[in-house]
Amino acid sequence: MNSVNVRSLLVRGMLAGLAAGVLALIVAYLLGEPRVDAAIAYEDAHAAPGAPEMEIVSRSLQSTAGLATGVLLYGVALGGIAALAYCFALGRIGRFSPRATAALLSGVALVAVYVVPFLKYPANPPSVGDPETIGKRTTLYFLMMALSVLLAVAAVIVGKRIAPRLGTWYATVVAVLGFTVAVGLAYAFLPAINEVPEDFSATLLWQFRLAALAIQLTLWTSFGLLFGHLAERLLNPKPATATATAATTAVATPETSPETAASAH
């Protein structure tokens, strides 16, 4: 792939990421923020008596401009990185169209980057978790994410190598099963973390985690669809229709003048 296409795909990826970020922002504001407010209310109700802590950034600013800035920047960064990964994957993972490759890449990225780490270390609302273990929890989460991405890449490589012997279908099944077993082993060996207070609402916790999953699902799905459409238009432009071709030919060919027609007779 030449540098012009890479640059064009990078720009389209960032634009698609920005548009996907707008959709994810709507989901985050409608589904996520009410659960965050409920968790903060629980935290305030169970806080130790004394003077309340001063807010450096107000909650209203966090839930509006702060949320929008974070989600949109994340969408643009995600789009750029995913576009570069797309340039590498296109034509190397199978004979898929540009649109199908974008959809496949987005689905795999959603599973490897978010779903697999989420199932081991799910998102928690405010007031859940010990502040003294935040460093440990963050390290374990990103370690699980890195392992998941590496295992996904290894599964793709193994699937490609065994496909000539087993066929595409069985090679895919073997690669997926191998990925699942490896992830299961990682789940078993990495330490579990459960710091949810006993009296914290299980319903609120469940709703918050579903909202977090919905945000990521919206972001990756919309990005895959939007970027796939833009990549398809760039890499496989539609040919001119028969009508347009005929019209162009008619304009390019001068009409026969009456004198020419008369001389022909």
Q: How many structural domains comprise the chain?
A: 2
CA-CA-CA-CA torsion sign (71, 72, 76, 82): positive
Question: What's residue 5's pLDDT?
Answer: 83
Residue 258 lies in a domain: no
116 lies in the same domain as 8: yes
Residue 92 lies in a domain: yes
Question: What's residue 55's pLDDT?
Answer: 64
Question: What's residue 4's pLDDT?
Answer: 64
Residue 115 lies in a domain: yes
Instruction: Kindly report which listed range (42-51, 87-96, 167-176) carries the lowest average pLDDT score.
Output: 42-51
36 lies in the same domain as 75: yes
Segments forming the whole domain that contains residue 154: 129-195
Residue 259: pLDDT band (50, 70, 90) is: very low
- C-alpha to C-alpha distance for 22 and 185, rounded to whole angstroms: 37
* CB distance 53 to 69 below 8 Å: no
The 10s digit of each residue's pLDDT in 84-143 is 999 988 878 777 888 999 999 999 999 999 999 999 999 888 878 777 888 888 999 999
Residue 13 lies in a domain: yes
155 lies in the same domain as 31: no
121 lies in the same domain as 175: no
The answer to whether the pTM exceeds 0.75 is yes
**pLDDT, averaged across the chain:** 85
206 lies in the same domain as 109: yes
The 10s digit of each residue's pLDDT in 191-219 is 988 888 888 888 999 999 999 999 999 99
Question: What's residue 194's pLDDT?
Answer: 85
Q: For the chain, state the CA radius of gyration.
A: 26
Q: Give me the amino acid identity at 128.
A: V
